[in-house]
Structure 1
Amino acid sequence: MTMPPPAGLAPRRLPLVLGSTSPYRRELLARLRLDFSVDAPRVDETPRMGEAPAQLAQRLALEKAKDVASRHPGAVVIGADQVADLDGQPIGKPGRHDRAVAQLQAMRGRQVVFHTAVAVVRSDTGFAQGLLAQVAVTFRALADAEIEHYLRLEQPYDCAGSAKCETLGIALLERIDSDDPTALVGLPLIRTCALLRLAGIDPLVVPA
């Protein structure tokens, strides 16, 4: 039987851990006004032979959450991953300028699907579930000079597809279609909240 907290002590939520070092995901999760810590996952992110971009994102999100959960028994752990998809081929983080140029040149005038997966794991109960958000992004027919100007200002070399939509990258785009608005930035908060509720944390409910 669960005992109530002693008189005079505030109720406590389950510990929450974000299994990611991404500053974008930290900023997004902070919007839920939940206390959380951060632990970097130790996962090989190499795609498997024949693995589709959506499958890759889902697998890595769950593997990251499980890896971090193994070091935080009793905590609720969030893992996430994003893979950009152009004609069925994954587009990762460019890492450097010339690769970012090549990515944006390949995507201009085209539609790219960003597969953003989130997984939540709670090792003490065996809870482990994931959800996928898909964002269809249509890029403008960008001139080389526009691409160069954007990259010099933003340097989005740690962003899948080189498109940092929350700042100047929005000017690269014609259209964004998604049912989870923050998915393109790296963490679909609607789906994250759904999984957190199932695992035992509801951002809108004070713990009893």
Structure 2
Amino acid sequence: MKYPLILASSSPFRQSLLQKFNLPFDTFSPNVDESALNNETPAQLVKRLSELKARAASKHFSKGLVIGSDQVAVFNEQILGKPHNKHNAVKQSSLFSGHSVTFLTGLCVYDLTSGESKTCIEPFNVTFKTLTDAQISAYCDAEQPYNCAGSFKSEGLGICLFEKLTGDDPNSLIGLPLIKLSQLLAEFGLDVLSAQSNTALS
């Protein structure tokens, strides 16, 4: 393959998404500070962090196309952090009941050799059902989504919380917008479909 692919994430969800491309890739944990800067908008935050994560690969690799991604949930113009415990998850989910939450996923592809990078932001909207306290509590106990922005796992039982999903790519909700990623990789000369013949030969 023309470029080694590198995923700047230790997330098993992002790794399983990237596996859909059927191409070999390396991973590492970028270990960047994810705190928002003063007056930073949600879109600016995910753009900056996805670029920081991708560029962190230069400490570990000398060449390759690095994929960095970051996601926030936004409700009433406020960035929602990970709940970390049941109390906070119940509180978040109760706020969302009957309302919509926007997920913004930043995506950066960075070429370690040339130093060139391309970044985009993919929005995705989730409309929640009107949920009872008992439903919210039962969901939190069953799936314990305490390290997930928005207090749910859409790839699991969390799908039962929703009224509807609106966006271009459902993969972006899980953390990696694959449609946009394939477009960005193509701009760097890596066509995912054409590269399959190389994979079959290796």
TM-score normalised by the chain length of structure 1:
0.91
The 3-state SS of whatever aligns with 1:131 is strand
Alpha-carbon distance, 1:196 to partner: 1.2
Unpaired runs of 5+ residues, structure 2, are none
Aligned mates of 2:33, 2:3 — CA distance in 1: 28
Question: What amino acid is aligned across from residue 173 of structure 1 in structure 2?
Answer: F
| 1:64-107 Cα distance to aligned partner (Å, 9 max, x none) | 00112343121110000000000110012111111111111111
Which residue in the other structure is 2:149 paired with? Answer: 160
Counterpart selection for 1:117 from 93, 106, 111? 106
Distance 2:66 2:72 in 1: 21
| Distance in 2 of aligned mates of 1:121 and 1:182 | 20
Question: Which residue type is aligned with residue 56 of structure 2?
Answer: D
Give 5+ residue unaligned stretches, structure 1. 1-11
Q: Does 1:91 align with 2:80?
A: yes
Alignment of 1:94-105 (within 5 A): 94-105=83-94
The aligned counterpart of 1:52 is 41
Structure 2 residue aligned with 1:5 = none
Instruction: Find the counterpart in structure 2 of residue 21 from structure 1.
Output: 10
Compute the TM-score of the two structures, normalised by the length of structure 2: 0.93
What is the aligned residue count? Answer: 197
In the alignment, the residues of structure 2 paired with residue 72 and residue 194 of structure 1 have an alpha-carbon distance, to the nearest angstrom, of 23
8 Å contact from structure 1 (residues 78, 120) kept in 2: yes
Q: Distance in 1 between matches of 2:115 and 2:48?
A: 17
Of all paired residues, the percent bearing the same amino acid is 41
Runs of 4+ in 1 over 4 A off after TM superposition: none
SS at match of 1:63: helix
Q: Report which stretch shifted further, 24-33 or 66-75.
A: 66-75
Task: Report how far residue 123 of structure 1 moved.
Answer: 2.1
Q: Does 1:35 pair with 2:24?
A: yes
Are residues 1:202 and 2:188 paired?
A: no
Asked whether the 8 Å contact 1:69–1:122 carries over to 2, the reply is: no
Distance in 1 of aligned mates of 2:90 and 2:45: 24
Q: Give the match for residue 140 of structure 1.
A: 129
Q: Distance in 2 between matches of 1:13 and 1:95?
A: 41
Q: What is the Cα-based RMSD across aligned positions, in Å?
A: 1.3
Secondary structure of the residue aligned to 1:159 is: coil
- Contact map agreement 1:127 1:199 (CA 8 A) in 2: no
Question: What is the CA-CA distance between 1:57 and the residue it aligns to?
Answer: 1.1
Secondary structure at the counterpart of residue 21 of structure 2: coil
SS at match of 1:100: helix
Q: Distance in 2 between matches of 1:168 and 1:92?
A: 20
Q: 1:192: which partner in 2?
A: 181
Instruction: Name the aligned partner's letter for residue 65 of structure 1.
Output: A
Q: Within 2, Cα distance between the matches of 1:121 and 1:89?
A: 29
State the SS of the aligned residue for 2:105: strand
User: For residues 84 and 51 of structure 2, what CA distance do their matches in structure 1 show?
Assistant: 24
